[in-house]
Amino acid sequence: MLILVTGGVGFIGSHIVDEALRGGHGVRVLDSLRADVHPGDAAPGTPEGVELIRGDVRDPSAVADALRGVDLVCHQAAKVGLGVSLADAPDYTDSNLTGTAVLLAAMAAGEVRRLVLASSMVVYGEGAYLGPDGHVRPPARREDDLRRGRFEPQDASGRPLRPVLVGEDDQLDPRNVYAASKLGQEHLTAAWARATGGRAALLRYHNVLGAGMPQGTPYAGVASLFRSSLERGEPPRVFEDGRQRRDFVDARDVATANLAAAAWTGSEPDGTVRAFNIGSGVVHTIGELASRLSAALGGPPPVVTGEYRLGDVRHITADSSRARAELDWTPQHPFETAVADFALAPLRAPAAG
């Protein structure tokens, strides 16, 4: 099988390329090598035997060239992160939505009917909770509460809630521009599948960490930000009270999930789009991540600052049992191993943007 990996020089994309090669697949990469992802003085490339097409996924001619003879597309190319301000909105929309639309139009024209899409847990917004009256999705937290250190969501009557796992069929509630763009990618994919009879797996990644993470950018994941602080000899700065619940998953496991999704057949008819949560399945806190990284690197312990960012969600962890059952996929790197490996793994040099 010949697989096109868009964004295949990037953090997760490069892991997928390596895993596809290990599986004996042919691999082609389409990557724009944009300056806010890749440092200008580096020369990123691909492993031997992988064709690299330097081009933007928003460029119809580059995409058409990349799709020649392809059996399946693994679409990783996107502007990532939660955004720094609404000034990021046009770039998120253009990069993620226009890029996906151009890719899907070219796939339709070229009769490429199989897609694995990199989506994200952010499409759920705030996680699911149990309250006195059953399941509830709380509204966005108020700045007045955050200022007072009241970080836990409450129901409309101010009663406490207990976080629970989110399933793929639960309500979707994107709460920032990046999240809206990822959900938009899912909707575009569904429209493509209905129109063409194509089949797509939507992989909703949780907090991914691993070798090759970007550093030195406000768009990087929290694990990279913590490690960058430690390498400067500074303690990781943990926002709120550090008890925010997340699911940290190793990039190597995300790569195997993509290849499992590439092999997915299922019993559903053509035109099917199926979402899968991709996480370790084990809940940890951001404070735990910071403490383990500090210990692994022999650095100063984390500082819990009480700071907050408007728009951040408190708890988001999802049930990944569908991926295990239907994709026959099991993550192989538990939290302790993933963090220990990440602490010593090479990262990407700081980029321009």
Beta strands in 175-222 (DSSP E): 199-205, 207-209
Name the active-site residue from 92, 124, 129, 178.
Answer: 178
Residue with tokens 């492993």: 47
Q: Is 178 one of the catalytic residues?
A: yes
**CA separation for the pair 46, 44 (Å, rounded):** 7
**CA separation for the pair 340, 303 (Å, rounded):** 20
Residue with tokens 């990822």: 182
β partners of residue 5? 29, 74
Task: Compute CA distances 31 → 12, 34, 63, 126, 340, whole Å.
Answer: 13, 8, 10, 32, 30
The set of residues, in sequence order, having a beta carbon less than 8 Å from that of 107 and lying 6+ positions away, is: 67, 73, 113, 115, 192, 196, 198
Q: Which residues are catalytic?
A: 178
